Amino acid sequence: MNNTIIYTSHHKPSAFLGASCIVPLHVGKANSLNDITCSGDDTNDNISYKNPFYCELTAQYWVWKNQPKTDYVGFMHYRRHLNFSEKQDYLEDEWGVVNDDVISQAYEEKFGLNDRSIQACLQDVDIVVPKKWDVRAAGSKNNFDHYKVSPYLHIEDYQTAIGCLLKLYPEYAEVVDEFNNASDGYYTNMFVMRYDIFDAYSNWLFSVLNDLENQIAFHGYNSQEKRVIGHLAERLFNIYLIYQQKKCSYHIKSLQRTFVKTETFNGKLRPAFSTGNVPIVICFDDNYSISGGALINSIVKNSADDTKYDVVVLENGITERNKQRLLSLVEQNANFSLRFFDINAFAEMKTVYTRAHFSPATYARLFIPQLFSDFTKVIFIDADTIVQSDLAALMDVPIQENLIAAVKDIVMEGFVKFGTITRISSGEFTAGEYLKTQLGMNDPDKYFQAGIIVFNIHQMNLENTGKALMDAMKANSYWFLDQDIMNKVFYDRVLYLPMEWNVYHGNGNTDDFFPNLNFSTYMRFLSARKRPKMIHYAGENKPWNDPSVDYYDNFAKYAVGTPWQKELYERLNGVLNTAPFKQKPVLFQTRLKRQLIPLLNRCAPMGSSRRQTLSKYYYKLRRIMLG
């Protein structure tokens, strides 16, 4: 029998404690389609779906019914812990809590949240509880009054619970009065107990709550008020303990409670399959669900039956409905796993630099080395793509000691050739100057496009590349944001994939921009378009909004048959309301630009110093006019 296990309840991605005897548990997992990188309370005999009402009690029930017996078992929260250190006189706030900034190695050492301190604390102890808190600090007279005046609580619910308790266990009447009239108690549903005591307490508690479910009803309660069962259990715990202490004279130790003010995340995902795992990572928000659906369908349609695909969506606000739709695309395929992870778990996302149409979500790729550190390689692919070949083939590219594999960015090649101007916080640069001075790329031709990347996680773990990405992200603002950061950090450590693995749909510039590239590049571009393995709908012209774009039919092939098929028709109905196809109105500035560009090309050819000078003045004037 193991010695001690203390479970911490988590309902979202958060920081886990490092002690081997402290086990994180995803509470309410039955109500969530997201993976928060720890096991859930939704297997075997469970009440996980009741979590909005029972709070952390769903963890207690699951452990009681399913986990092996241990000498001691306990429960804490994801940011509320017991202080297992010998020092028990830290300054407390009016709620009886010791506040600290963040979970860290220093925090764990300070409060004894390690195996050594926990085992020492439990020597010759029957029960560990939080130090009693006096409700008079909140202006209440006693425990009964505190429930009565607390926001979101209704005294009728407490009285009903006490009625159920006394019906089942009338011998508790005296201690009910004792607790109600006392001004202090053990709050927060945290404790550590000998297993036999835990087993008896759980049997008693859930018998009362089972009866209560037949007596209680919500009356237009909001989400906070519906947490009533968890609040009632705090009081029932005290009543049980008072009675049992009188009867059994347990050795009870009281510890200070801590509260972590800043939420962070330090978890990591693990492979869905034990062998032959092909991890594929996609990142999008709800606006791109239709595109993500077509992409996932294309991955499934081009997969091999004997290969295991571990698809992870780094999501930002995808609705439960669309998550269910996405899951339906793989539900018939036993060799597919599809999971969701909320990218807002990373605190750094709140302070990143953004511009134009870019959102903080675009930085999600930078966290792949951290989140997937238990993997060997990971394939990342943009959501505005579809594939026409088996992505598993990319797991076999000879990446060796390179950090990534990706396709060269021929658009950036054009920006360098034509002297395109960019302006960031550190100044104004031509594309070539920017790549050399800001990204440290002495050879601008090595710039890659981030629409599809094979991450060499094994090599990144050896070199702590995740830290290098974070340092670069915090050091500067960038033209193409995370793509530039990766080019800076991965420079000269890239295995270049054939262009067929990242074929631009053209964004309306197929016969405009690309023919002006170096002839050899243009020929490779045309060749790749004949046999694309991945089609990238980069730019503002998307096939789910405009059926005139190149490779629209390729997209439609994989969107049809998905739950978004009807939505695709409806989106395009506003465009396809006449036959033949009627182009959308062209903006005045676009028409003017089309008239002036041929004249400009004659007077100031692309790449000339005159063109660069005119570009600088144009962008300065444009910024002034657009504010």
In this prediction, what percent of the chain has a pLDDT beyond 90? 83
Q: Supply the DSSP symbol for 234.
A: H
Position 576 scores a pLDDT of 52
In one-letter notation, the amino acid at residue 601 is: N
> Which is higher by pLDDT, 423 or 625?
423
Both tokens assigned to 321:
């409905």
Under the phi-then-psi rule, with left for phi > 0, alpha for psi from -120 to 50, and beta for the rest, what region is 55? Answer: left
| 31 burial level (CB within 10 Å; 0-12, 13-18, 19+) | middle
In 3D, which of 66, 73, 64 has the Cα closest to residue 23?
Answer: 73
Cis ω before 580 (30° cut-off from 0) = yes
Tokens 């009016």, residue located: 94
Q: Of the given ranges (89-93, 172-176, 356-360, 533-537), which has the lowest mean pLDDT?
A: 356-360
- The tally of CA atoms less than 13 A away on the side-chain side of residue 230 is 23
The Cα 380–Cα 368 span in angstroms is: 9
State the DSSP H helix or E strand holding residue 559, giving kind and residue range, or none if neither.
Answer: helix 552-559
Position 181 scores a pLDDT of 98
Position 580 scores a pLDDT of 42
pLDDT band at 354 (very low <50, low <70, confident <90, very high): confident
Q: Torsions phi, psi of 610, nearest 5?
A: -65, -40
CA 292-294-298 angle, 5° bins: 115
Position 388 scores a pLDDT of 98
Q: What is the mean pLDDT of residues 128-141?
A: 96
pLDDT band at 551 (very low <50, low <70, confident <90, very high): very high
Q: What is the mean pLDDT of residues 548-561?
A: 96
> Which is higher by pLDDT, 340 or 1?
340
The Cα 58–Cα 50 span in angstroms is: 7
Position 258 scores a pLDDT of 98
The Cα 298–Cα 388 span in angstroms is: 7
In 3D, which of 208, 206, 238 has the Cα closest to residue 61?
Answer: 206
Q: 101: Cβ–Cβ under 8 A, 6 or more apart, which residues?
A: 107, 260, 261, 262
Q: Could you read off the pLDDT of 279-312 as tens digits, one per residue?
A: 999 999 999 999 999 999 999 999 999 999 999 9
Position 583 scores a pLDDT of 45
Both tokens assigned to 184:
């202090």
In 3D, which of 228, 216, 210, 199 has the Cα closest to residue 168?
Answer: 210
Exposure string for 182-204, b = 16+ CB within 10 A, e = fewer = bbbbbbbbbbbbbbebbeebbeb
Contact assessment for residue 113 and residue 81, using Cβ atoms and an 8 Å cutoff: yes
Position 361 scores a pLDDT of 77
Q: What is the mean pLDDT of residues 482-499?
A: 97
The Cα 257–Cα 254 span in angstroms is: 10
Q: Is the pLDDT of residue 45 over 50?
A: yes
In one-letter notation, the amino acid at residue 319 is: T
Position 426 scores a pLDDT of 77
Q: Could you read off the pLDDT of 55-109 as tens digits, one per residue?
A: 999 999 999 999 999 999 999 999 999 999 999 999 999 999 999 999 999 999 9
Give CA torsion, residues 535, 536, 542, 548, to 10 deg: -40
Give CA torsion, residues 619, 620, 624, 626, to 10 deg: 10
Rg (CA), the chain: 30
The Cα 33–Cα 29 span in angstroms is: 8
Q: Could you read off the pLDDT of 392-429 as tens digits, one per residue?
A: 999 999 999 999 999 999 999 999 999 999 888 778 89
pLDDT band at 627 (very low <50, low <70, confident <90, very high): low
Q: Is the pLDDT of residue 359 over 80?
A: no
Give Cα separations from 512 to 482, 507, 509, 611 (angstroms): 27, 10, 5, 17
For the chain, counts of helices (H) and of strands (E): 22, 23
Contact assessment for residue 211 and residue 168, using Cβ atoms and an 8 Å cutoff: yes
Q: Could you read off the pLDDT of 8-25 as tens digits, one per residue?
A: 999 999 999 999 999 999
Position 355 scores a pLDDT of 73
Position 369 scores a pLDDT of 97
Q: Where are the domains of the chain?
A: 2-260, 277-573, 588-626
Q: Is the pLDDT of residue 152 over 60?
A: yes
Position 46 scores a pLDDT of 98
Q: Is the pLDDT of residue 227 over 90?
A: yes
Tokens 């992505």, residue located: 391
Under the phi-then-psi rule, with left for phi > 0, alpha for psi from -120 to 50, and beta for the rest, what region is 497? Answer: beta
Superfamily designation of domain 277-573 = Spore Coat Polysaccharide Biosynthesis Protein SpsA; Chain A (3.90.550.10)
State the DSSP H helix or E strand holding residue 304, giving kind and residue range, or none if neither.
Answer: none
Q: Of the given ranges (81-85, 152-156, 581-585), which has the lowest mean pLDDT?
A: 581-585
In 3D, which of 510, 492, 298, 307 has the Cα closest to residue 383?
Answer: 298
Q: Is the pLDDT of residue 190 over 80?
A: yes
Both tokens assigned to 456:
């060499």
Q: Are strands 534-536 and 503-504 parallel, antiparallel or unpaired?
A: parallel
Q: Is the pLDDT of residue 579 over 50?
A: no
Q: What is the mean pLDDT of residues 548-575?
A: 92
pLDDT band at 582 (very low <50, low <70, confident <90, very high): very low
Q: Could you read off the pLDDT of 499-510 as tens digits, one per residue?
A: 999 999 988 778
Q: 565: Cβ–Cβ under 8 A, 6 or more apart, which residues?
A: 559
Q: Is the pLDDT of residue 608 over 80?
A: no
Helical residues (DSSP H) of 280-335, grouped into ranges? 289-301, 320-328
Contact assessment for residue 130 and residue 186, using Cβ atoms and an 8 Å cutoff: yes
User: The sheet that has 80-82: what strands, in order across it?
Assistant: 80-82, 257-260, 97-100
The Cα 395–Cα 276 span in angstroms is: 10
pLDDT band at 513 (very low <50, low <70, confident <90, very high): confident
Q: Could you read off the pLDDT of 460-476 as tens digits, one per residue?
A: 999 999 999 999 999 88
Position 512 scores a pLDDT of 81
The Cα 107–Cα 111 span in angstroms is: 6
Contact assessment for residue 377 and residue 458, using Cβ atoms and an 8 Å cutoff: yes
Average pLDDT over all residues of the chain: 92
Q: Is the pLDDT of residue 557 over 70?
A: yes
Position 199 scores a pLDDT of 98
| pTM attached to this predicted model | 0.89
Give Cα separations from 233 to 58, 131, 242, 370, 473 (angstroms): 12, 17, 14, 38, 46
The Cα 26–Cα 63 span in angstroms is: 12
- The tally of CA atoms less than 13 A away on the side-chain side of residue 526 is 12
The Cα 416–Cα 434 span in angstroms is: 9
Position 166 scores a pLDDT of 98
Q: Supply the DSSP symbol for 150.
A: S
The Cα 615–Cα 421 span in angstroms is: 7
In 3D, which of 361, 360, 378 has the Cα closest to residue 369?
Answer: 378
In this prediction, what percent of the chain has a pLDDT beyond 70? 92
